[in-house]
Amino acid sequence: MAWTFEFRRQEVVDQKPSIENLMERWPALFQMEEINAEFLRVTAVPLLTRFMAQLDKYSTQLLKIIRKKGGATKAKTATILEFLDQV
């Protein structure tokens, strides 16, 4: 299995295939379950758990940044921010 990861990485970096070719050759790279399994195998850390923990850690700071934005970002996030303010 380790060689498969190394082989895929080498192919992607060296040959720079198109997304269509990559999806055809390595479909597992585009499936959430497979990405999680591969990340766990390579790093011994569960990806989704780690991501959610880090998101929780930085969510307050992210919300401050989003609240300071104007224009289209403000318009797109207004409903979500109103809901968060009510919770």
Q: How many separate domains does the chain show?
A: 2
The whole-number pLDDT of residue 2 equals: 55
pLDDT digits (tens, 9 = 90+) for 56-72: 999 999 999 999 998 99
- C-alpha atoms less than 13 angstroms from C-alpha of 19 in its C-beta half-sphere: 1
Q: Is 38 in the same domain as 60?
A: no
Q: Is the pLDDT of residue 4 over 80?
A: no
Q: Is 61 in the same domain as 31?
A: no
50: in domain: no
Q: Is 6 in the same domain as 37?
A: yes
User: Distance between CA atoms of 80 and 72, rounded to whole angstroms?
Assistant: 14
Taking every pair of C-alpha atoms in the chain, what is the biggest distance, in angstroms?
51
Q: Is the pLDDT of residue 1 over 60?
A: no
pLDDT > 90: percent of the chain: 57
| Chain-centroid distance, C-alpha 49 | 12
Q: Is 38 in the same domain as 63?
A: no
| Chain-centroid distance, C-alpha 33 | 13
Host domain of residue 59: 55-86
pLDDT digits (tens, 9 = 90+) for 15-57: 999 999 989 988 888 999 988 998 998 899 999 999 999 999 9
Q: Is 34 in the same domain as 8?
A: yes
The whole-number pLDDT of residue 31 equals: 92
